[in-house]
């Protein structure tokens, strides 16, 4: 499968059309961005580890009954995916409070939540990805009720599956963000699941092993992503 035209250039990935109109090549770049694009840097090897990390997680989720856009890995930085009509929405689940919720609610950093907390955010960098409710989504027509319910249910299911997977490797899945789209009317998990879009803490030391290392200038960003991959038994080609 060959790349034809670049149709999307995001902050960390690029999407290309292919000879099949319903399939795209997702290219993971080394570009790293945080704070809605305000902090940017290229980190050598990040595209490669993220592409393979994402494929491992998507395959694991598929094996547990989650339908995803992932078809196959093409090379170290590229994967083939179904082309979706994306919702302009980010679905977040938190198991512990950290990041934006602490700024918003004054919550103690690291607080273990009594139950996983699900939140919708509008995908709009210029607005700083604001928190929105189901009512906003319905009133503005960003998604229909059945898909709102579906996104919530699937995201919470993903939380269960992945919390267990990471826990088996002595990692706490603190929180994460996922995106969804429609393929022929069917709701599919889209985009990526990598340490760029989640928070992972070592179970004993609570050391951060995700993109917070970049956000907070802690260093060893790509090295930490590789350590997580190693712990999960992924075989990452560099």
Binding residues (CB under 6 A) for ligand ASP: these are 11, 33-37, 129
Residue 221 binds ligand ADP, judged by CB under 6 A:
no
Closer residue to ligand ASP, CB minimum distance, 73 or 173? 173
Stretch that binds ligand ADP, among 3-11, 53-61, 106-114, 135-143 (CB under 6 A): 3-11
Q: How far lies 39's CA from each of 15, 42, 59, 102, in Å? A: 22, 11, 31, 20
The token duo for 207 is 């050391």
User: Which positions from 170 through 209 interact with ligand TMP, judged by CB under 6 A?
Assistant: 175-177, 197-199
Match 């770049």 to its residue by tokens.
Answer: 29
Q: Which is nearer to ligand TMP, 34 or 71 (CB)?
A: 34
The token pair at 185 is 């009317």
Give the DSSP H/E element, type plus range, for residue 129.
none
Number of C-beta neighbours around residue 82 at 10 A: 20
How many chain residues are in contact with ligand ADP, going by CB under 6 A? 17
Residue 35, binding choice from ligand ADP, ligand TMP, ligand ASP, none, Cβ under 5 to 8 Å by partner class: ligand ASP
Shortest reach from residue 30's CB to ligand TMP, in Å? 17
Helices and strands of the chain, counted as H and E runs: 6, 15
In angstroms, the first-to-last Cα distance of the chain is 21
- The footprint of ligand ADP (CB under 6 A) covers 8, 10-13, 15, 24, 69, 81-84, 86, 179, 181, 190-191
């Amino acid at each position: 499968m060959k790349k034809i035209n670049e149709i999307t250039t995001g902050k960390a990935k690029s999407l290309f059309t292919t000879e099949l109109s319903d399939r795209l090549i997702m290219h993971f770049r080394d570009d790293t961005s945080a704070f809605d694009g305000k902090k940017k840097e290229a980190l050598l090897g990040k595209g490669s580890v993220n592409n393979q990390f994402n494929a491992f997680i998507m395959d694991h989720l598929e094996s547990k009954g989650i339908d995803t856009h992932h078809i196959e890995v093409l090379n170290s930085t590229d994967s083939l995916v179904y082309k979706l009509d994306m919702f302009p929405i980010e679905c977040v689940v938190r198991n512990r409070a950290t990041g934006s919720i602490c700024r918003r609610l004054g919550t103690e950093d690291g607080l273990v939540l009594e139950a996983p907390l699900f939140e919708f955010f509008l995908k709009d960098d210029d607005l700083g990805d604001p928190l929105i409710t189901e009512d906003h989504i319905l009133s503005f027509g960003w998604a229909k009720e059945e898909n709102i319910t579906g996104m919530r249910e699937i995201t919470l299911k993903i939380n269960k599956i992945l919390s267990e997977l990471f826990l088996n490797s002595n990692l706490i899945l603190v929180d994460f963000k996922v995106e969804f789209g429609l393929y022929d009317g069917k709701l599919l998990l889209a985009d990526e699941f990598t340490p760029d879009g989640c928070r992972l803490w070592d179970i004993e030391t609570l050391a951060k092993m995700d993109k917070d290392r970049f956000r907070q200038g802690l260093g060893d960003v790509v090295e930490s992503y590789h350590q997580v991959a190693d712990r999960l038994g992924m075989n990452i080609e560099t």
